Amino acid sequence: MSAVEDESARRYPAKYWPRHEPDGDHPGKLAYLDGITTDDLQAAFESGAQWQATQPFTAVQVEEAAKQIYLAVSAAVDEYDHWMGTFKALAVWDDLAEEGRKFYRKSARDALEAVRKTVLE
């Protein structure tokens, strides 16, 4: 079972009419609006997830992922502000040179592609 199938089953678990067990041509599944069953909901979810996984990442998605990776990598260099009693992040995306941003964008795109592959397997 793929990750998409697992998630669709989690979101839309099979529901049956009381005292109706699955039985050949009469599965006994609960119908929602206009006869839609949990099987229909699961199939729609899986189809949508697979379509989404084939779409290219937007520049906004890649940029945001790159920022998150940069901040996660840089979290160890935070500084404690004794006057305010808080931590101050030293890592500022806007201060990073364009070459460094390109590196993190490529890392982000690679990470997003790796996640995408696991969804489809």
pLDDT tens figures, 69-120: 887 777 655 565 555 555 555 557 788 899 999 999 999 999 999 988 876 6
Instruction: In whole angstroms, give the CA distance from residue 71 to residue 101.
Output: 12
pTM exceeds 0.85:
no
The set of residues, in sequence order, having a beta carbon less than 8 Å from that of 102 and lying 6+ positions away, is none
Residue 60's nearest CA partner among 92, 108, 113, 99 is: 108
Q: Which amino acid is at 21?
A: E
Instruction: In whole angstroms, give the CA distance from residue 10 to residue 59.
Output: 31
Mean pLDDT (the chain) is 75
